[in-house]
Amino acid sequence: MLSFWEDRSFLKFDLIVVGGGIVGLSTAIQFKKDRPNAKVLILERGVFPSGASTRNAGFACFGSLTEILDDLNTMKVEEVKNLVEKRYIGLRSIRGLFGDKALGYYSNGGFELITEQEEKYLDRMEYVNSILTPIFGEDVFSQVRDIQTFGFSDKVKYLVKNQFEGELDSGKFLELLWETAQLFKVKILTGALVENVDLDKKEVQVRNPIYQNRLDFSADKIAICTNAFAGDLIENLNIKPGRGLVMVSKPLKNKIPWNGSFHYDMGYVYFRNIENRLLIGGGRNLDIKAEETTKNEVNPTIKAYLSRLSEEVILPNENLEFEYEWTGIMGFGENKKPVIQLLTEDIGIAARLGGMGVAIGWQTASELVALLEK
């Protein structure tokens, strides 16, 4: 049973955001920025944000050459361009807002490893550059000449550099978003699993044993930012979960001879140097059906594949031992465009961020806020 005070002070809001990842926090901040007096609440099921945002690889990327070529198979040129531009704007916005130092951001560039079988993609580099030059003002992709200094195995025949990519510290990024939300007096409740969103009543139901298992929050507007888990609350969204594995080695004895964000196998595998450790992730394509899950478990086939790739191709002269391994869940659809739409006049959703939410998350939130403002 609720008290008079609880009912008056804790349950009614101007905006409720479901999900406290990059998109949820960015939505709350951008809504509140122009409405300092608005009461804004974030409901997050985890003790801290527990989706993809704190479990990713921290690549501030917007597509490797082969990924963009692949996107051109499922999207029109203008759509691909738009998506890349949004990622780039999103990235610029967070760098402008928080600063590179606070984000742990490094502009080391992105690199794609190209094998003999993938050589054909190099012929289309100029074309992709011509599509992207209007956004970046100059060529994005170029071929690296002194590839042997990277120390990869001879399976890697070519290296393509994206001069605009970078890497950041995902923990620092989320902390900055969280602190900024609190600075704006956004209320954040964690351990608050939303079980239902009533679109007609504009109510959100949270499971809680103290209140007969159910607490009803209501708001003028509701933003659903639960990414891969959005299908638990809203039907027919066309969002499939996709699990990703990340592993981080123990610090290496020898200095890793490269820095930057690296892509391999059409972007399905990615790796970077973090504090002279190898961070490697991906490999979902090896067992794609099994990885369409929201369960955070390690797939042994993928783990073995990433370990082998690390030792045989990436750092062939190192004795690697992995110290961390974790999985996170992404949201995918028939193409890489996030779902950003109104479900009713006052309830919107921004989800299905795929594998690029670090760059595009802020911009996605800004579009959701604009829709909710209409």
* Cα–Cα distance measured from residue 315 to residue 190, given in angstroms and rounded to the nearest whole number: 41
* Cα–Cα distance measured from residue 278 to residue 234, given in angstroms and rounded to the nearest whole number: 38
* Cα–Cα distance measured from residue 125 to residue 143, given in angstroms and rounded to the nearest whole number: 9
**Shortest separation between residue 184's beta carbon and ligand FAD, angstroms:** 17
* Cα–Cα distance measured from residue 349 to residue 369, given in angstroms and rounded to the nearest whole number: 10
**Shortest separation between residue 229's beta carbon and ligand FAD, angstroms:** 4
Tell me how far CA of residue 287 lies from CA of 204, 254, 284, 292, in angstroms.
Answer: 36, 33, 6, 9
**Residue 24 CB contacts under 8 Å (≥ 6 apart), including other chains:** 17, 18, 42, 44, 49, 223, 225, 226, 365
Q: Is there binding between residue 353 and ligand FAD (CB under 6 A)?
A: yes
Q: Is there binding between residue 358 and ligand FAD (CB under 6 A)?
A: yes
**Residue 62 CB contacts under 8 Å (≥ 6 apart), including other chains:** 84, 87, 88, 91, 164, 165, 356, 359, 360
Select from 48-56, 152-160, 214-222, 297-305 the region that touches ligand FAD (CB under 6 A).
48-56
Select from 2-10, 55-63, 295-303, 340-348 the region that touches ligand FAD (CB under 6 A).
55-63
From 17, 41, 43, 313, residue interacting with ligand FAD (rule: CB under 6 A): 43
Select from 110-118, 129-137, 221-229, 315-323 the region that touches ligand FAD (CB under 6 A).
221-229
Q: What does DSSP say about strands 187-190 and 40-44: parallel, antiparallel, or unpaired?
A: parallel
Q: Is there binding between residue 46 and ligand FAD (CB under 6 A)?
A: yes
Q: Is there binding between residue 40 and ligand FAD (CB under 6 A)?
A: no
Contact between residue 141 and residue 159 where contact means Cβ atoms under 8 Å apart: no
**Shortest separation between residue 214's beta carbon and ligand FAD, angstroms:** 13
Number of residues that bind ligand FAD (CB under 6 A): 45
Each residue 298-337 as x (binds ligand FAD by CB under 6 A) or -, in order, gives ------------------------------xxx-------
**Shortest separation between residue 19's beta carbon and ligand FAD, angstroms:** 3
Tell me how far CA of residue 326 lies from CA of 277, 279, 339, in angstroms.
Answer: 16, 11, 26
Within 65-124, the residues that bind ligand FAD by CB under 6 A are none
Applying CB under 6 A, the residues found at the interface with ligand FAD are 18-24, 43-46, 49-53, 55-59, 61, 193-194, 225-229, 232-233, 244, 246, 281, 328-330, 353-359, 361
